[in-house]
Chains A and B, each alone.
Chain A
């Protein structure tokens, strides 16, 4: 059973470009979470999605950031017009069916975004 897959593992962008980060959840998991980790910090929640629905985006910056989890294919975190402050590690996690059950979230290896 493959774990959570994220690609690319490393992404370099120049200021003003767009960054697209992909996440494929574990088989059988229909809930995806995105977290951001700045250097020397813990992970900070960004967004929680189910298939075709955004459940909680309270941690997403209001501008330039968007996320989707289509019916088919991976979840995508998109950052438009990147700035140096967007440089961080972005982690995706998945769980099978939270529904108030406190399901464990399983993490992917992360995408390290560097903005030049």
Chain B
């Protein structure tokens, strides 16, 4: 079974600085997808970024980028120029693409606080 590990329960960063959230996963699959979701205090789950495992190029979305290391099964999220609105829980998630079910497997999350 696939597992997702986020080893940092909590992190903090100063506004305008850069922070990296770590995520590792375990799978025997070769093709899969990885996601980062953000859950602010409103508890709405918001997609931050998506990565296809077959693509070597790291995904980027404005201030958010990932460092995807397939051999190491690592998928870290970098947030540049942190803003107060980035304060949230961040969940890393894995999706397999075989077997007819595309369920997401989530890590336990990292609570990020951006300080003014």
Whole-angstrom distance between the Cβ of B57 and the nearest chain A Cβ: 16
A95 contacts B102, CB within 8 Å? yes
Q: How far does the alpha carbon of A106 sit from the alpha carbon of B104 in the complex, in Å?
A: 12
Q: Which residues of B contact A41 (CB under 8 A)?
A: 108-109
For residue B97, CB closer than 8 A to chain A, the reply is yes
Q: Which residues of B contact A95 (CB under 8 A)?
A: 102
Whole-angstrom distance between the Cβ of A21 and the nearest chain B Cβ: 15
When A42-B107, A102-B95, A104-B47 are in contact, do A109 and B102 touch as well, CB less than 8 Å? no
When A59-B103, A109-B43 are in contact, do A104 and B50 touch as well, CB less than 8 Å? yes
Q: How far does the alpha carbon of A92 sit from the alpha carbon of B102 in the complex, in Å?
A: 14
Interface string of B99-111 (1 = CB under 8 A from A): 0111111111100
For residue A100, CB closer than 8 A to chain B, the reply is yes
Q: Which residues of A contact B50 (CB under 8 A)?
A: 102, 104
B45 contacts A103, CB within 8 Å? no
Q: Which residues of B are in contact with A by a Cβ distance under 8 Å?
A: 4, 32-33, 35, 37, 42-47, 50, 52, 91, 95, 97-98, 100-109
27 A–B contacts from the bound complex (CB under 8 Å): A31-B102, A40-B108, A41-B108, A42-B4, A42-B106, A42-B107, A43-B104, A43-B106, A44-B106, A45-B104, A45-B105, A48-B102, A55-B100, A56-B101, A58-B103, A89-B43, A100-B97, A100-B102, A102-B32, A102-B50, A102-B102, A104-B47, A106-B47, A107-B45, A109-B44, A110-B43, A110-B44
